[in-house]
């Protein structure tokens, strides 16, 4: 397995593969890989001849007060995991190689990008769309695989690919969880042992809401209250950034769970912002 840091070399290698008639799958990540990422790699590996994994903590998707500098990194470990899960190549560029000093072109999907996480992270999805478009342009993969943990991100990227006629299939994979239900995330390492022990309450709250919906409670306000009360009880001190019921594709808020609805939440546990979601079927 090769590790490439130069965008030009990445493009050359992928072009050579395509000339040989080989198909390519891309899994974009910010590294500090865990079993959730591996579930994407394992699926992607089955979808194409060559698997490319990018490891890039993309500075343009972090706001000024966010955790860019302290985002966890461990490239050596990432390389070992990627190789063990069948990657042909890891692309791990420096920010300077990805962004010219006068970089000035951005992709935005404002309608979807301002909702949910976008309300408290106004430039986040502009950075995500732009870096994913750059990666798609460099690799030109047949398929790119993303996690449903970042449901909003996937919805926005699907819209971008559709709107800009990009020639790639986007695949979403289910949320991979710890044994106690906490959604795996590179940011979980920031949690103190006490916070970590209580953090599964977020997923429990989503499960509780799912049971209530099955039991006939469909009013979004009532369901939100049930979620809030559960967290106040099981994860005291946590601050809910949002707990929202939205249409799974448009991300527009809904007041009743009368059709498949996404419940999406973002919760600050101490200083750590955790996201999770659940698709509620009716």
* Selected binder of ligand AMP within 4, 14, 25, 30 (CB under 6 A): 30
**Cα dihedral sign, 183-147-36-213:** positive
Residue nearest ligand AMP (C-beta atom) = 147
Closest approach, Cβ 19 to ligand AMP, in A, equals 28
- Distance between CA 279 and CA 249 in Å, rounded? 11
Q: Which is nearer to ligand AMP, 25 or 220 (CB)?
A: 25
Q: Which of residues 200-259 bind ligand AMP (CB under 6 A)?
A: none
Closest approach, Cβ 81 to ligand AMP, in A, equals 12
Q: How many residues bind ligand AMP (CB under 6 A)?
A: 17
DSSP assignment of 187-237 equals GGGGS-HHHHHHTTHHHHHHHHHHHHHHTT--BHHHHHHHHHHHHHHHSTT
Closest approach, Cβ 141 to ligand AMP, in A, equals 14
Q: Which of residues 75-134 bind ligand AMP (CB under 6 A)?
A: none
- Distance between CA 204 and CA 227 in Å, rounded? 9
Interaction pattern, residues 176-195, with ligand AMP; x per rule: CB under 6 A: x------xxxx---------
Q: Is residue 150 a contact residue for ligand AMP (CB under 6 A)?
A: yes
Q: Is residue 156 a contact residue for ligand AMP (CB under 6 A)?
A: no
Give the residue among 203, 199, 186, 183 at the shortest CA–CA distance from 268. Answer: 199
* Selected binder of ligand AMP within 40, 79, 81, 161 (CB under 6 A): 40
Q: Which is nearer to ligand AMP, 185 or 261 (CB)?
A: 185
Q: What is the DSSP letter of 143?
A: E
Q: Which is nearer to ligand AMP, 55 or 257 (CB)?
A: 55
H helix or E strand, kind and range, residue 171: strand 169-173
H helix or E strand, kind and range, residue 91: strand 89-91
Using the rule CB under 6 A, give the single segment among 6-14, 18-26, 142-150, 264-272 that binds ligand AMP: 142-150
Contact 230, 243 (CB under 8 A): no
37 is catalytic: yes
Measure the CA dihedral 280/109/5/90, to 10°.
Answer: 20
Q: Which is nearer to ligand AMP, 78 or 212 (CB)?
A: 78
- Distance between CA 59 and CA 69 in Å, rounded? 9
Contact residues toward ligand AMP (CB under 6 A) are: 29-30, 36-37, 39-40, 146-147, 149-150, 173, 175-176, 183-186
């Amino acid at each position: 397995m090769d590790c490439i840091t130069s965008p030009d070399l990445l493009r050359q290698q992928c072009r050579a593969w395509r000339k040989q008639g080989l198909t390519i799958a891309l899994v974009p990540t910010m590294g500090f890989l865990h079993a959730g990422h591996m579930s994407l790699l394992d699926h992607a590996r089955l979808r194409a001849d060559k698997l490319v994994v990018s490891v890039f903590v993309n500075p343009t998707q972090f706001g000024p007060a966010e955790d860019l500098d302290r985002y966890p990194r461990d490239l050596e470990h990432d390389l070992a995991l990627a190789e063990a899960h069948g990657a042909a190549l890891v692309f791990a560029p420096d920010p300077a190689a990805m962004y010219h000093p006068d970089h000035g072109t951005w992709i935005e999907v404002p309608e979807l990008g301002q909702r949910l996480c976008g309300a408290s992270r106004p430039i986040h999805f502009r950075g995500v769309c732009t870096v994913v478009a750059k990666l798609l342009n460099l690799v030109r993969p047949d398929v790119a695989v993303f996690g449903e943990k970042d449901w909003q991100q996937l919805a926005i990227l699907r819209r971008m690919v559709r709107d800009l006629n990009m020639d790639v299939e986007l695949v979403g994979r289910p949320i991979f969880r710890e044994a106690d239900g906490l959604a795996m995330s590179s940011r979980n390492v920031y949690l103190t042992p006490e916070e970590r022990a209580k953090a599964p309450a977020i997923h429990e709250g989503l499960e509780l809401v799912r049971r209530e919906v099955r039991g006939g409670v469909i009013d979004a306000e009532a369901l939100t209250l049930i979620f809030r009360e559960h967290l106040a009880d099981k994860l005291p001190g946590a601050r809910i950034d949002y707990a929202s019921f939205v249409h799974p594709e448009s991300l527009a808020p809904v007041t009743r769970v009368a059709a498949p609805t996404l419940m999406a939440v973002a919760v600050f546990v101490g200083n750590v912002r955790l996201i999770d979601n659940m698709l509620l079927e009716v």
